[in-house]
Amino acid sequence: GPTAGSPSRLRLGAFQLAARLEPEPSIVPVAVANFDQRLSRAVLGAVVAEPFRLSDVVGDPADRDRLARFVNDDLTPRYRAWVREAAALR
């Protein structure tokens, strides 16, 4: 989708996988902007946010409802802010 609406919806699968792995991996959010434009005219921007482990932000990462609340209510709005920050880079 377009940068303005990114991310539209984060899916839980990768987060569920990360919650099951030992040792628990760090998740590194990367937001890219202007990827929807022609590369010959676009100025791409990227923001690499602070890595985190699910166990540091979700009480029980194996609990699908808690994980979904974190992804939908906390991570998605922050991710949108990172995309806006990436779009502002010139």
Give pTM, 2 decimals: 0.85
pLDDT in tens, 42-78: 888 999 999 999 999 999 999 999 999 999 999 999 9
One-letter amino acid at 85 equals E
Query: Residue 61's pLDDT is what?
Result: 92
**Taken in order 47, 50, 56, 61, is the CA torsion positive or negative?**
positive
Alpha helices in 1-90 (DSSP H): 13-20, 54-57, 64-69, 76-88
| Res. 7: pLDDT tops 90 | no
Measure the CA–CA gap between 58 and 43, rounded to whole angstroms: 35
